[in-house]
């Protein structure tokens, strides 16, 4: 985002505060940092890098209107690692880095008073511009607290500041300091053996992953074919946790990597354009608002991965255990909550915001708003069973996260409710006991699929041709399209 300068006064001596925020914990490609340096060189003034762990975001007391903690302990750990890595990088360049636990509008004033308690020091504050309401409220609070200079948009040494309570160039909070209990801390520190990979916060780890994926393993050339995978570290870039906090980075695969990176920026502009509408139940649509449900039993079953639909449940359990979920999984669980269960999609966006390692408010809420059909575009309702069969054909992913289904034959694995009593006994899986019955009736498509009637014979020829093309590439799931096709606006489409 472009930098902005909002002057409040002038003086011969000033301080440039580089305010690092949750989404820019990096030195590379950091526009606000570049702007800070430009002003410091021009005015021959110093730079004071600061990061604040805001209690309105971290800890058990920081809750959303839906009751979720705003930042789960696993993501908090990831951010702590990122802040620690940033401190090491700054120190290696001769700079200190002030870390504080408190509200920025309070901590900044404390720090300035420590530098010179006898006068109000004029300062400019440089930071990444935010566009959503909670972040803008913090911006306004800081602007009001710092009455001299305020600027939005490496390194000079910082002032030697004495340590004050929970704020210094040596201070780094623990998860306990941030307000998480021992059970949450233990969960955050547990690396699940079935997870896709181990994520470590920080720009250093982000650049290492970038190098590994693009150069060392040369995986970008097959990304288009593998991007709908579910298991392991290499089916997709896995850049997203770092993109949410630290990192920015001539064939079809390279095109799709770039395209999906641009989508993140698109959703920030989308949020800037529509403001708080992305948080409304009706989203950015106009006209009569859809009536959503709020059945706690359904929402809890969805969160815990106990809906009776294996593909949904496996993805939700992976999310709960690791803080990560594939893009294919995210689309399906969103569709299931909004369109199959008809529950308010904001419960899903809120839960993802609490749990995901790679949460950023624009991408998360923008994608959920779109997935629920609340942006005025096409509405994709996914056929969960068919998606499961297409992208987890042999059930490896489902069995990985649902051990109670490990002995269920693949013919029943994606729809276990079709098992007879005999098959349930034989598979050591009793429905309603070992694994839940479906919480809503499974989708039952009409003859010829969920896209209406038509010439089924011609459709069969087209499907056979498509499958033959797909079978030539072992990396592509049997249901993956070769190309995206546009659909009429406002249509409800059953996604096979």
> Which residues fall in the annotated binding site for FAD?
223, 236-240, 358-360
Rg (CA), the chain: 25
Report the binding-site residues.
Answer: 223, 236-240, 358-360
Determine the Cα–Cα distance for residues 212 and 84; give it in Å rounded to an integer: 22
Determine the Cα–Cα distance for residues 177 and 196; give it in Å rounded to an integer: 29
Q: Is 19 helix (H, G, I), strand (E, B) or coil?
A: strand
Determine the Cα–Cα distance for residues 160 and 169; give it in Å rounded to an integer: 8
Residue with tokens 């399906």: 332
Determine the Cα–Cα distance for residues 225 and 353; give it in Å rounded to an integer: 29
Instruction: For the beta carbon of residue 177, count every other beta carbon within 10 angstroms.
Output: 15
Determine the Cα–Cα distance for residues 396 and 392; give it in Å rounded to an integer: 7
Closest C-alpha among 300, 25, 41, 263 to residue 156: 41
Closest C-alpha among 49, 38, 136, 148 to residue 96: 49
Instruction: For the beta carbon of residue 440, count every other beta carbon within 10 angstroms.
Output: 14
State CA 323 to chain mean position distance.
9
Q: CA distances (Å), 153 to each of 42, 101, 165, in order?
A: 17, 24, 30
At residue 123's C-alpha, the angle toward residues 120 and 125, to 5°, is 140
Determine the Cα–Cα distance for residues 134 and 368; give it in Å rounded to an integer: 19
């Amino acid at each position: 985002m472009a930098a902005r300068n909002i002057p409040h006064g002038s003086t011969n001596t000033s301080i440039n505060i580089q305010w690092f925020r949750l989404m820019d914990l990096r030195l590379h490609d950091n526009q606000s940092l570049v702007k800070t340096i430009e002003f410091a060189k021009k005015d021959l003034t110093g730079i004071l890098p600061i990061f604040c762990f805001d209690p309105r975001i971290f800890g058990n007391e920081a809750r959303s209107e839906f009751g979720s903690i705003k930042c789960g302990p696993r993501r908090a750990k990831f951010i702590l690692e990122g802040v620690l890595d940033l401190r090491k990088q700054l120190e290696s360049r001769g700079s200190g880095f002030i870390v504080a636990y408190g509200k920025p509008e309070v901590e900044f004033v404390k720090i300035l008073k420590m530098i010179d308690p006898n006068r109000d020091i004029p300062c400019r504050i440089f930071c990444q511009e935010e566009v959503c309401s909670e972040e803008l409220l913090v911006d306004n609070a800081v602007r009001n607290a710092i009455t001299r200079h305020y600027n939005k948009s490496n390194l000079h040494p910082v002032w030697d500041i004495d340590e004050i309570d929970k704020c210094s160039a040596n201070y780094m909070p623990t998860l306990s300091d941030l307000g998480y209990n021992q059970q949450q801390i233990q969960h955050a520190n547990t690396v699940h053996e079935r997870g896709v990979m181990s994520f470590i916060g920080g720009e250093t780890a982000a650049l290492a992953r970038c190098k590994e994926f693009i150069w060392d393993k040369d995986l970008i050339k097959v990304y288009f074919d593998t991007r709908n995978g579910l298991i392991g570290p290499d089916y997709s870039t896995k850049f997203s946790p770092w993109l949410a906090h630290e990192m920015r980075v001539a064939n079809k695969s390279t095109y799709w990597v770039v395209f999906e990176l641009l989508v993140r920026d698109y959703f920030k502009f989308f949020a800037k354009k529509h403001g708080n509408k992305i948080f409304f139940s009706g989203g950015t649509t106009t006209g009569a608002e859809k009536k959503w449900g709020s059945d706690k039993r359904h929402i809890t079953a969805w969160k815990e991965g106990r809906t009776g639909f294996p593909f949904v449940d496996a993805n939700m359990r992976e999310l709960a255990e690791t803080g990560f979920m594939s893009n294919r999984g995210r689309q399906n669980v969103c569709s299931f909550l909004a369109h199959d269960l008809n529950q308010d999609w904001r419960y899903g966006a809120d839960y993802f915001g609490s749990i995901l390692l790679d949460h950023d408010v624009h991408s998360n809420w923008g994608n959920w708003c779109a997935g629920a059909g609340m942006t005025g575009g096409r509405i994709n309702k996914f056929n969960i069973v068919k998606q499961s069969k297409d992208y987890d054909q042999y059930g490896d992913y489902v069995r990985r996260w649902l051990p109670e289904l490990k002995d269920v034959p693949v013919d029943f694995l994606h729809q276990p409710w079709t098992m007879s009593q005999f098959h349930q006994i034989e598979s050591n899986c009793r429905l309603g006991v070992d694994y839940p019955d479906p919480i809503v009736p499974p989708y039952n498509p009409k003859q010829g699929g969920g896209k209406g009637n038509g010439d089924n014979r011609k459709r069969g020829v087209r499907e056979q041709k498509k499958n033959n093309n797909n079978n030539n590439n072992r990396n592509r799931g049997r249901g993956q399209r070769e190309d995206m096709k546009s659909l009429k606006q406002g249509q409800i489409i059953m996604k096979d």
